[in-house]
Structure 1
């Protein structure tokens, strides 16, 4: 039996549950009174919001900051997500040369803490993407390569056609795979709503990860241009806006996730009508 790839599972879940929302899980040490509270709340948010989201995105920095306990929690989060049928995007933004890139790829796409997909930094050169592409292919996984990030300072390095060059390389890699969504996706900030349709056209086979919903100011109403005509092809991530929607109130987290999911769906419906 053929095991579905990351993009196949993501598309199936998007359509089955009618959700384009990605749940970011960022366990911030200063938000909790103890590690036990941090662990319990993080896992509870995952379980309670699971049916509202298409995938989950742990931000690796927050788990690394917790030391060994953080790595153990990351394994728990990934295992719980798999049990819930949720594809896992590890937000690590890894990138390096040669054997180091290969080691990162093995660690985060095939190792004990591995996710289904990994965010990757391409700014050491396109050759550095290949080890990640190879391991993703071997494991039915995917990459989300930084193209146009959500932070205000991105223009310092990503302007002047640099982002476009990265996007064109991802399109080339995706074209080599044939039909359907590629295993090589792109990170494009939801904070650039006026550009999303252009990025979608430029990377027709790339799944898009759109960070910036909620705390960074992006609004569901503005994001329809990132999606394919059937409403697939992109997920929009919210982290603080869900996990800490009202302090540590779990009901508020669920309500926030519902609001983001419904807002994205409404925006797509309006776009179809127009």
Structure 2
């Protein structure tokens, strides 16, 4: 199961770092240059990461060559035994949700896990959760996202708690349907909200937390200790631009950035449990 693959790989490599791969066509002279650099970054930093998180939008923006590159990224990750967490933020109802789940959690072109959007209602989560459970994958529900204006909706109060907290309670409820100590239903909680991490950790004790926002968005590893469970498990922290474009397209700089983030996160995780 995906959540335990993260634990096993994290323990083996002593890392809690998730590599976000967001190839920006404007940074390159050609699509081929974008392709070669993106794949080279993944291969070079693989020893320092617990998983890779391709952001689907950047691949879609490059058209068919971009989608082909996303497929290549996932194939390379499989060869390197790096779990794939696809950042697609899908969410829809009924048969459409089932089709999204089939596309991104099943079959040859799928990832091992996907981010999903609950804002059409909690019934939208069911097809994704069912597919993840059937295929040993995972879903990461948007709870408290890393962007500065996330509070516009997620911070609204209803029945004494925020919308984000209501979503967190549903994540916890889904997790309780499973006997495992770590559930296949995880949550996205921005690393940019360190003061709220203890609260969301308490609300979702069985959820693996995906913490985006390290580096370019301003989050720092030292503030993230409350997100981790005992022995530094239960959370992975994503950095994207801060690694892939740490110093332009310099590969050595990407490796150095990944190594540095890994070491900082290990220190933070070691402060808990």
TM-score, length basis structure 1: 0.96
Name 2:144's counterpart in structure 1. Answer: 148
SS of the equivalent of 1:19 reads coil
SS of the equivalent of 1:263 reads helix
The alignment status of 1:221 with 2:222, answered yes or no, reads yes
Superposition deviation, residue 8 in structure 1 = 1.3
Distance 2:90 2:103 in 1: 11
Distance 1:223 1:131 in 2: 31
Superposition deviation, residue 138 in structure 1 = 1.2
> Deviations for 1:194-248, whole angstroms, at most 9, x for unmatched residues?
1111111110000100000000000000001100011111000000000000000
Name 2:89's counterpart in structure 1. Answer: 93
The alignment status of 1:16 with 2:29, answered yes or no, reads no
Superposition deviation, residue 271 in structure 1 = 4.4
Alignment of 1:122-133 (within 5 A): 122-133=118-129
Name 1:116's counterpart in structure 2. Answer: 112
Counterpart of 1:61 (choices 57, 62, 66) is: 57
Distance 1:44 1:204 in 2: 36
Residues 168, 203 of structure 1: 8 Å contact kept: yes
Superposition deviation, residue 113 in structure 1 = 2.4
Superposition deviation, residue 96 in structure 1 = 0.5
Residues 71, 113 of structure 1: 8 Å contact kept: no
Residues 75, 112 of structure 1: 8 Å contact kept: no
Q: Which runs of 5+ in 1 are unaligned?
A: none
Worse-superposed segment, 262-271 or 145-154: 262-271
SS of the equivalent of 1:206 reads coil
Distance 1:133 1:122 in 2: 12
Counterpart of 2:48 (choices 42, 46, 52) is: 52
Superposition deviation, residue 65 in structure 1 = 0.8
Name 2:79's counterpart in structure 1. Answer: 83
TM-score, length basis structure 2: 0.97
Superposition CA RMSD, Å: 0.9
Superposition deviation, residue 45 in structure 1 = 0.3
Name 2:262's counterpart in structure 1. Answer: 261
Superposition deviation, residue 137 in structure 1 = 1.0
Divergent runs of 4+, >3 A: none
Residues 145, 184 of structure 1: 8 Å contact kept: yes
Residues 20, 53 of structure 1: 8 Å contact kept: yes
Residues 197, 226 of structure 1: 8 Å contact kept: yes
SS of the equivalent of 1:177 reads coil
Name 2:23's counterpart in structure 1. Answer: 27
Superposition deviation, residue 135 in structure 1 = 0.7
